[in-house]
Amino acid sequence: MGRKFEKSKNRSKETTRGIEKALETGEKIVEEKERAGDSINRIPEGVDDEVAQAIEPIKKAIVIEATADLSERAEKPVEDGKKELNEINEEADTEAQRAAQASEVFAETKGDYANKEVGDGIAEANKSQEGFEKTIAENEQARAEAEARLEKQRADTLAAI
């Protein structure tokens, strides 16, 4: 594969790794929020009124702070990564179209001269097109999976304690 394909593939891998790292951070935030909520819920019933009145504001603060933390440390990097994947896909789509056009031009040339070379050119153009299309499909899958995981993290973070 050519330089453009390798650049596209490498950008995709780097971006996907960044998204994965942000999602792992989001999972840690959810775990921390749940751990804090579990701790608060261990306060025994029947405590003094003043202690009991402090519980709900603490629970609300935990949810608010975890939600803000998730937004900053997970949602924003994931959204930025998804935008980057979209840009990569647009470039890859352009390159796939160019490869398809090259294959068509090569095919038109076949039969006149250099048939072996033309056949090799068609094979390379098709391979390039398939590589870019595969990159697009992988990016779309990564984007969809990231969105699903992020949605679950949002729901888990907003869930009442």
The tokens 């924003």 sit on which residue? 76
What mean pLDDT comes out for the span 57-66? 96
- Which pLDDT band, with edges at 50, 70 and 90, does 112 fall under? low
Q: The tokens of 130 are what?
A: 């398939």
Q: What is the pLDDT of residue 160?
A: 80
DSSP 43: S
Distance, CA of 33 to CA of 81 (rounded, Å): 25
What's CA 35's distance to the chain center, in Å? 26
Do 128 and 5 touch, CB atoms closer than 8 A?
yes
pLDDT at 52: 87
Closest CA to 36 of 155, 159, 151, 154: 159
Confidence category of residue 104, pLDDT binned at 50, 70, 90? very high
pLDDT in tens, 13-41: 999 999 999 999 999 999 999 999 999 99
DSSP E strand stretches across 26-134: none
Phi, psi of 145, rounded to the nearest 5 degrees = -65, -40
* Closest alpha carbon to 22 in 85, 69, 89, 61: 69
